[in-house]
Structure 1
Amino acid sequence: MTHPLPLFRFGIVADPQYAAREPHAGMDRYYENSPAKLKAAIEVFNAEDLSFVITLGDIIDRDFASFDAILPVYEALKHDNLFLLGNHDFAVAPEHLEDVAARLGMPAPYYSLAKHGWRFIVLDGNEVSTFAPPVGHPNREIAAEKLAELRAAGAINAEAWNAMISDRQFDWLRAEIADAAERGERVIVMNHYPVYPPNQHDCWDRERIIALLAESPNVMAYFNGHNHVGNYGVVEGCHFVNFKGMVDTESENTFAIVDLYGDRIEIRGFGREESRVLALRS
């Protein structure tokens, strides 16, 4: 018999991408409408008993001052408020590149938290990129080399607005998954960038992340944003869910509440977001 109540639940927002700029009609992005959409989402979140709400990156579209307009909207949220970093969050002046995580109140650029027998592993997918590291940082050079390599190979994700995690962060991810397994915790990994199904928005090191998650039976899902139209796939029982971007469309909203049960994950989509029931691997 299925238990009628979830173990716990949390909220998801992807890509508000606020900026004080004109809409991009061709991409159907309405940057200045995101605070109102976010406010509406928070009203729904506040009516539910949530463990936390996490925004999957791209809180802003550009300019460090944009944080001053969008972050106060979150102050109405009654639940713990978590962030991860997206590529647009680094579309700021060079002197602010090292201030972004702190401006968002994050404990670190990547981190994990354990709740109710689950572990949430939050990645910084921008660590090796041509835009997020401080100017002169070796990760910029590594990123340029990786991007050139992918372009030479004709990879669909060979885009300068993608990025990847460092080897050090990948080792940390592997250790977090192993530690969670030892403690009997199920895992959800979260990142700004998708990895599956193959798409032009995928992070550059998608293959090693897919392989690690597929071979780790305690990893149940990988949640991301970045690709605003959304996506879904499954590999070896691990679900890959790409949530849709809030900044898209003039008036339609998109966000989700995730209910975790002993045998499944239920995603309740609001607005343009799709609802899904995902069976947990045993």
Structure 2
Amino acid sequence: MSNHSSSPITSEQTRRRFLQTGVLLMAGATAGQAYAQGEQPMLRIGLMTDLHYADKKPVGSRYYRETLDKIAEASGKLSGSSLDFLVELGDFIDAADAVDVELSYLKTIAKPFAGICHDRHYVLGNHCVDTLTKEEFLGAVEREKSYYSFDRSDYHFVVLDSCFRKDGKPYGRKNSIWTDANVPPEELEWLADDLQRNEKKTIVFAHQRLDNEGDHAVNNSPEVRKILEDSGNVTAVFQGHSHANDYHQVNGIHYCTLRAMVEESGLENSGFAILEIDRQGGLKIEGFKKQVSYQWT
């Protein structure tokens, strides 16, 4: 997310946006259509984004220290939900002016996050690698690569990294601006090859947005979308970065932007979700607090 504060979208604005974009089903409205009575989901995935944890005073609508209380509450819900895995969609920490300070933020928030689920995945956000290098961040959360794919049950999952400058250099050590987000040629080639080799339905996890153009979007998002569309297997993309609930369907792919956990004071203003995938390919997003729920069949 940028260093600029933005007012979260109101519930009425969100309702109007969904009416305009044509969401197929709101969760809870016709829940029985996605699952046969008594059927258990094939996969349950925890989702959260833009925690921006930092030990510093609030700035605008961002309450950095309160993320610890919000994640503790989320843990109470998610830990007992039999998750298959957990995904953090970027900006896990906020930027700092020194490496040791930013590492301390990461160490502090990583512990309660790790307590939620053993199988965890971290999408790099621009704030995650503002001062830290990618190697430092990934080493601290015990991950080897910033973009990769994996299979669970009948689904294929892809984690993308858009924290590269236009010239291809990776973010780190204050060398980037948040509006210059790109998926470099090497990663695009890997993505196309990965999807071509895969025959399973696929879900993509990203930080910067892939469904549109503008400050919060990946600069070469049209090129990324074409690769996703050409594969014929990608059903949904989950992303963060712009801090407010949003949804678009682009050429048959669901693009769901999750609400930032850091926004506004108080536990009632948190946001996180559980994604359930049924054996027929139906997707149900159960949103908690300020996170909107969805259901797609």
| TM-score normalized by the length of structure 1 | 0.83
Find the counterpart in structure 2 of residue 81 from structure 1: 120
Q: Which is further off, 213-222 or 32-41?
A: 213-222
**Larger relative helix fraction:** 1
Structure 2: any 5+ residue segments left out of the alignment? 1-32, 96-101
Aligned-pair CA distance for 1:73:
1.2
- Aligned residues of 1:87 and 1:132 also touching (Cα < 8 A): no
Match of 2:139 in 1: 102
Q: Which amino acid aligns with 2:230?
A: E
Q: Percent same amino acid at aligned positions?
A: 25
Aligned to 1:114: 151
Residues 162 and 201 in structure 1, CA contact (< 8 A), matched pair in contact too: no
Contact 2:129–2:172 (8 Å) recurs in 1? no
Q: Deviations over 1:218-276 (max 9, x none)?
A: 11011111110131101221100111110101111100000001131100000111100
Query: Which residue is 2:129 aligned to?
Result: 90
- Any runs of at least 4 consecutive aligned residues in structure 1 with deviations exceeding 6 A, and if so which? none
Write the distance in 2 (CA, Å) between the matches of 1:122 and 1:76: 21
SS at match of 1:32: coil
Q: Which residue is 2:12 aligned to?
A: none
Aligned equivalent of 1:31: 64
Sort the Cα spacing of 1:133 and 1:253 in 2 relative to 1 into closer, same or farther, 3 A: closer
* Residue 91 (structure 2) pairs with residue 58 (structure 1): yes
Distance, in Å, in 1 between the alignment partners of 2:134 and 2:205 is 22
Calculate the aligned-residue CA RMSD, in Å: 2.2
Cα distance change of structure 1 residues 97 and 49 upon mapping to structure 2, 3 Å threshold:
closer
Aligned length: 252
Instruction: Give the Cα–Cα distance (whole angstroms) in 1 for the partners of residues 196 and 86 of structure 2.
Output: 25
SS in 1 for 2:186: helix
Identify the match of residue 162 of structure 2 among 103, 125, 130: 125
Following superposition, the deviation at residue 175 of structure 1 comes to 1.0
Structure 1 residues 113-161: Cα deviation after superposition (integer angstroms, max 9, x where no partner): 10011111001110336884467xxxx7xx8xxxxxxxxxxxxxxx744
1:168 correspondence with 2:186: yes
User: Structure 1 residues 23, 127: closer, same or farther in 2, change over 3 A?
Assistant: same
Distance 1:216 1:204 in 2: 21
Task: Spell out, residue by residue over 1:61-105, the C-alpha distance to the aligned partner (whole angstroms, 9 max, x if none).
Answer: 022321121111123224412211100001225xx5531111121
Alignment of 1:94-243 (within 5 A): 96=133, 98-128=135-165, 132-133=170-171, 160-181=178-199, 185-243=200-258
Q: Can you give the 5+ residue segments of structure 1 that lack an aligned partner in the other structure? A: 144-158
For 2:281 and 2:114, locate their aligned partners in 1 and report how far apart those are by CA, in whole Å.
34
Query: Cα distance 1:98–1:49, how it changes in 2: closer, same or farther (>3 A)?
Result: closer
Distance 2:247 2:158 in 1: 19
